[in-house]
Amino acid sequence: MSTLCIQNACLVQTGESSPVKTDLLIVDGIIQEIGVGLAVPSDAVCYDAAGQILMPGLCDPHVHLREPGREDSETIASGTEAAIAGGYTRLLAMPNTDPPIDAGGMVTYVKSMAQNQSRIPVSVAGCLTRGRKGDKLAEIADMAAQGAVMMTDCNHALQDEYVLRRALEYTRDFDVVVGVYPDTPALSGEGVMHEGEMSFRLGLQGIPAMAEEIAIERELRVACAVGGRIHIQNVSTGEGVASIRRFKAQGLQVTAETTPHHLLLNHSALVGYHTRFKMMPPLRTPEDQEALLAGLLDGTLDMIATGHAPHTDFEKHLDFMHAPFGVTGLETALPALYTELVKTGKMSWAVLVEKMSTAPRKLLKVEALHLRVGERFEATLFDPEGETVISRESMKSRSFNSPWLGETLSGKVTQVFLGNEALMG
């Protein structure tokens, strides 16, 4: 038997008001005892948490690992190591690879690579349409049979609502969720940032909030008419939150996510024309930030996803108009959210765990994590007194397009546990 003892940890659970200081005894990956001053077996490996926060391992439902096809920006190995460094013990890989994951064989191939290259479990999403072209449904039944848990064209917006209707009707038979990226390309056009006072001041073409808001209304109306499970990705506007809230109140089976960067940053960050702040959907207004936070706290927005989108230095060093959209987030999400929300009292640890661990696992239909006796031990240890320096030298990702590059954030992930195995250091 393998025995692990975590001592002096401040345990955080979903639904509990505040962390509780305690010890845990784990045998062969299963929590056997929880309490203060536990008797420690002589053969146990002991880890003194020294008052740090111990929470269920995080889960990210929106990650671009780029492999196969764009290994210059990220690989399954480098992306999952970045996830571990950020406190994640599971993630969902998006299907916008090259070639895209639009058939069962590709799902099997990526899952096999992940089993060989990743130290944490990787779930796989399949494309909603063939080649993400938006016109014909992909091999949904085949992909579902091979274990794909979501069908999505990720950052390609569906423009044909009949295709969405057929997808929602078809996926009901396989109990997989349809993920939609809410955008109206005819309105977004060639825009590169949020349309408003800041875009006019900077002389950059804007993307109006209504491009997202119209898409959310349209997609939720289709889902309301035909049923099926629908998940709204990358929500960034207050009106989008209001639409989701209204449809949820009507009983629609919809879930939705937002990102750390949309919660914590706004369009004023683009004043220096730094492409590490160029993302899609774009950073919006302070009012949108407030609405996103309110939506998380009242349950309208179910989860926080990083949308981790690595790009090479060459790509991100193009001028602002031509650099690609996207930022990394796996290594920065937890310390950034702690710095701006938990440390300031705007969000509790329990809510953060719900949004970054419990709800994403429910979306992926994997068992939620609970740090209690009889449950498997899968946890993240976070030191609120530590610091996380975001630098090229410290990052595990192959790409450095983080909006927090060069900054020091409060708190630090110090260890990640998968069963009795400590994954860091």
Domain, as residue range, for 299: 57-363
Is 31 a domain residue?
A: no
Is 370 a domain residue?
A: no
* Token pair belonging to 125: 């999403």
pLDDT score at 96: 97
Is 152 a domain residue?
A: yes
* Token pair belonging to 252: 């629609």
Calculate ∠ Cα 155-158-161, nearest 5°. 160
In this structure, which amino acid lies at residue 37? Answer: G
Whether the CB-CB separation of 236 and 212 falls below 8 Å is answered with yes
At 288, which helix (H) or strand (E)?
A: helix 286-297
Q: How far apart are CA 160 and CA 166, in angstroms?
A: 10
Is 412 a domain residue?
A: no
Is 234 a domain residue?
A: yes
Q: How far apart are CA 5 and CA 50, in angstroms?
A: 13
pLDDT score at 67: 98
The pLDDT tens digits for 337-367 are 999 999 999 999 999 999 999 999 999 999 9
pLDDT score at 13: 77
At 32, which helix (H) or strand (E)?
A: strand 30-35
Q: Identify the CA nearest to 383 among candidates 16, 19, 3.
A: 19
Whether the CB-CB separation of 220 and 264 falls below 8 Å is answered with no
- CA atoms in the 13 A half-sphere facing the CB of 420: 15
Is 4 a domain residue?
A: no
Angle between helices 286-297 and 238-249 (to 10 degrees): 30
Handedness of CA 244, 149, 122, 155 (dihedral sign): negative
pLDDT score at 64: 98
Tens of pLDDT along the chain (425 residues) come to: 799 999 999 999 777 778 999 999 999 999 999 999 999 999 999 999 999 999 999 999 999 999 999 999 999 999 999 999 999 999 999 999 999 999 999 999 999 999 999 999 999 999 999 999 999 999 999 999 999 999 999 999 998 999 999 999 999 988 899 999 999 999 999 999 999 999 999 999 999 999 999 999 999 999 999 999 999 999 999 999 999 999 999 999 999 999 999 999 999 999 999 999 999 999 999 999 999 999 999 999 999 999 999 999 999 999 999 999 999 999 999 999 999 999 999 999 999 999 999 999 999 999 999 999 999 999 999 999 999 999 999 999 999 999 999 999 999 999 999 999 999 98
In this structure, which amino acid lies at residue 215? Answer: A
315 CA to centre of own chain: 23
Q: Report the domain count for the chain.
A: 1
Is 378 a domain residue?
A: no
Is 20 a domain residue?
A: no
Which residues, 6 or more positions from 8, have their beta carbon under 8 angstroms from its beta carbon?
21, 23, 48, 49, 50, 51
Give the 3-state secondary structure of residue 53.
strand
| Pairing state between β 193-194 and 206-207 | parallel
pLDDT score at 18: 83
CATH code at position 351: 3.20.20.140
What's the Rg (C-alpha) of the chain?
21
pLDDT score at 425: 81
